[in-house]
């Protein structure tokens, strides 16, 4: 079978929901974490975002609508735990602790249990206590393509022998803050998500080490998070390259812990996202830097010509270079594509009915999209409309949340 035939079969299987991800392994290879846009800004002198910090214009922007002093104070504070708890993200940072980050620390002896269902249940239970709103588990194949070859410092990455599973944890973001994107409150919930990721993965990893197993906590480092979350049954890929979870939509951050603790794995889910994204395109329309594609179907290669995109996966590629440039211009992150995504809206009866039909009757997708647009027109309802930052600070109650 030639590449073209196998791609056609993969596309078919993907569209029918038989496989969660379509990857042409003759093209798609593990790539370096240094190619990620956030790593490239530190070393790639040819990129216009080289050495440009997201908040470099903080001083000139403060006082403008949506960019208050308290906003910047809260945004910087929200990142505080993430930025100072470097050990939580194991591969990119100096190992300051005398405790090994991967090896067992238990004095009680190894916890032996062949009951995989029970093992997964305790991991999921404790994951919730550690701050995750949803936990999924997947297995790493021997030729797993979503691990980076190198970290940001260009050190090679290989997981220690025996590591076979990934525990993927979602951290919920604040919808009211997201509704103000691209203004500052949306960045507050982003930073806060990363800080809570640090807490969740550090605690989960230490829990596993105390059971006598290896554990490597990771945020955006070590490997790609979205494919892992998809394989762990936590959602599907959206047009903007982010995870869409059936309950929280895109209002989540993803972190993971790699381990050799034997676990029962979860199965991927299909609740109609790919079909819906084909007609929706809202994220593309509302993207201020026009970094998201409008094509009906995903593609196998990035049209953007950026080596931050890894070709050979069937998806809608995002222009991460122009996206990051907008962040610099905005002087804080942007979450517009998350904000406008119909799946991000909080649960409620109308929304749940729509989700049911999106899953079971995709031919009605255009209708739900129209209704979603229509509901935003009621001024008293402002369903899914952008809010100004003052509303966030006033703390007024929002519909459905």
Interface contacts to ligand SF4, rule CB under 6 A: 238-240, 276-277, 280-283, 287-289, 291-292, 318, 323, 326, 334, 336-337, 340-343
Q: Select 15 or 30, whichever has its Cβ closest to ligand SF4.
A: 15
Q: Select 167 or 341, whichever has its Cβ closest to ligand SF4.
A: 341
Does residue 199 contact residue 164 with C-beta atoms inside 8 Å? Answer: no
Taking the complex as a whole, how short is the minimal distance between the CB of residue 188 and ligand SF4, in angstroms? 15
Taking the complex as a whole, how short is the minimal distance between the CB of residue 26 and ligand SF4, in angstroms? 28
Q: Select 11 or 264, whichever has its Cβ closest to ligand SF4.
A: 11
CA–CA dist 91, 94 (Å, integer): 8
Taking the complex as a whole, how short is the minimal distance between the CB of residue 210 and ligand SF4, in angstroms? 38
Taking the complex as a whole, how short is the minimal distance between the CB of residue 401 and ligand SF4, in angstroms? 19
Taking the complex as a whole, how short is the minimal distance between the CB of residue 117 and ligand SF4, in angstroms? 33
Q: Select 180 or 291, whichever has its Cβ closest to ligand SF4.
A: 291
- 3-state SS track over the chain: CCHHHHHHHHHHHHHCCCCCCCECCCCCCCCCHHHCHHHHHHHCCCCCCCCCCCCCCHHHHCCCCCCCHHHHHHHHHHCHHHHHCHHHCCCCCCCCCCCCCCCCCCCCCCCCCCCHHHHHHHHHHHHHHCCCCEEEEEECCCCCCCECCECCCCCECCCCCCCCEEEEEEEECCHHHHCCCCCHHHHHHHHHHHHHHHHHHHHHHHHHHHCCCCEEEECCCCECCHHHHHHCCCCEECCCCCEEECCCECCEEEEEEEECCCCCCCCCCCCCHHHHHHHHCHHHHHCCCCCCCCCCCCECCCCCCCCCCCCCECECCCCHHHHHHHHHHHCCCCCHHHHHCHHHCCCCHHHHHHHHHHHHCHHHHHHHHHHHHHHCCCCCCCCCCCCCHHHHHHCCCCCCC
Q: Select 111 or 307, whichever has its Cβ closest to ligand SF4.
A: 307
Taking the complex as a whole, how short is the minimal distance between the CB of residue 83 and ligand SF4, in angstroms? 21
Taking the complex as a whole, how short is the minimal distance between the CB of residue 132 and ligand SF4, in angstroms? 22
Q: Select 102 or 190, whichever has its Cβ closest to ligand SF4.
A: 190
Q: Select 123 or 341, whichever has its Cβ closest to ligand SF4.
A: 341
Taking the complex as a whole, how short is the minimal distance between the CB of residue 120 and ligand SF4, in angstroms? 29
């Amino acid at each position: 079978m030639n590449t073209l035939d196998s791609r056609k079969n993969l596309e078919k299987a993907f569209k029918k929901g038989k496989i969660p991800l379509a990857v042409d392994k003759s093209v798609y290879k593990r790539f370096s974490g240094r190619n990620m846009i956030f790593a490239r800004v530190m070393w790639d002198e040819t990129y216009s975002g080289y050495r440009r910090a997201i908040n470099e214009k903080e001083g000139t922007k403060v006082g403008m609508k949506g960019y208050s002093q308290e906003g910047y104070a809260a945004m910087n504070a929200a990142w505080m735990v993430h930025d100072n708890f470097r050990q939580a993200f194991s591969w990119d940072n100096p190992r300051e602790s005398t405790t090994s980050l991967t090896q067992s620390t238990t004095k009680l002896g190894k916890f032996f249990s062949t009951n995989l269902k029970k093992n997964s249940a305790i991991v999921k239970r404790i994951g919730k206590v550690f701050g995750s709103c949803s936990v999924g588990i997947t297995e790493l194949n021997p030729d797993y393509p979503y691990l980076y070859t190198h970290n940001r410092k260009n050190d090679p990455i290989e997981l220690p022998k025996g590591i076979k599973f990934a525990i993927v944890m979602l951290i919920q973001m604040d919808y009211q803050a997201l509704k103000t994107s691209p203004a500052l409150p949306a960045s507050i919930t982003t930073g806060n998500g990363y800080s809570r990721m640090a807490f969740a993965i550090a605690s989960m990893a230490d829990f596993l080490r105390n059971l006598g197993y290896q554990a490597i906590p990771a945020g955006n480092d070590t490997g790609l998070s979205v494919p892992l979350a998809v394989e762990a049954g936590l959602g599907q890929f959206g047009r903007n390259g982010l995870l869409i979870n059936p309950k929280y939509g895109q209002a989540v951050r993803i972190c993971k812990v790699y381990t050799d603790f034997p676990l029962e794995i979860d199965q991927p889910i299909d609740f109609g996202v790919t079909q819906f994204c084909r007609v929706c395109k809202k994220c593309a329309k509302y993207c201020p830097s026009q970094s998201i594609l409008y094509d009906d179907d995903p593609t196998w290669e990035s049209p953007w010509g950026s080596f931050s995109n890894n070709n050979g996966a069937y998806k809608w590629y995002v222009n991460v270079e122009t996206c990051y440039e907008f962040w610099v211009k905005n002087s804080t992150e942007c979450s517009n594509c998350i904000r406008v995504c119909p799946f991000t809206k909080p649960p409620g009866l109308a929304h749940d009915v729509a989700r049911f039909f999106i899953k079971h009757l995709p031919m009605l997708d255009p209708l739900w999209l129209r209704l979603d647009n229509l509901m935003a027109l009621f001024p008293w309802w402002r369903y899914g409309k952008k809010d100004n930052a003052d509303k966030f600070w006033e703390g007024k109650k929002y519909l459905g949340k």
